[in-house]
Amino acid sequence: MNEDAINDLIAWMKIIILTAAIVLLSRQFLFEPVSVHGQSMMPTFEEDDKVILSKISSIDNFDMIVFVAPDQKNYIKRVIGVPGDRVEMKDDQLYLNGEPVDEPYLEENRKWAETNGYPQLTTDFGEFTVPGECYFVLGDNRLNSVDSRMIGFILEETVIGEVKFRISPVDHIGTVN
């Protein structure tokens, strides 16, 4: 092999190694692709939707997160309460820090529940305060969701990231609300 070919090969190897390092570090510390499994967030997310998580976001009320649940599976849910929030559900109305909250993402599920004889989506629960370093999460499909009502508060340390972008299916590509 001539010297130019060897130099070219070394240059290409450096580019490939640098690219691989950037991809691996980005995935470890910045972003991660995830597949949605289950029906707990329908119709917001469907089975096998693909999303991108941001691992560096601060989590706020109504953000959607992926976390490691007590059964060691990854769950996707909507954050209802952050540390210090007071949360209550009464007559299918969410109250956050004593104020009623509109939940437009539930409209389709409310219509389905009404049509199928369910008087409300979410069973009442009395007011409580979300402890420090924890979140209270609910699925958008409240009639079919294993969430904080069953598994309790979600520890900050179990959060993998915030859902920022949907990459599949093609007709739903874009940022998520």
Cβ partners under 8 Å of residue 102, min gap 6: none
Catalytic residue selected from 54, 73, 77, 148: 77
Q: Which two tokens stand for residue 70?
A: 């007590």
| Catalytic residue (one of 40, 90, 148, 168) | 40
Q: Do residues 107 and 92 make contact, with C-beta atoms less than 8 angstroms apart? A: no
* Whether residue 73 lies in the annotated active site: no
The amino acid that residue 167 corresponds to is I
77 carries an active-site annotation: yes
CA atoms of 97 and 127, how far apart (whole Å): 9
Count of CB atoms within 10 A of residue 105's CB?
A: 15
Give the residue numbers marked as catalytic.
Answer: 40, 77
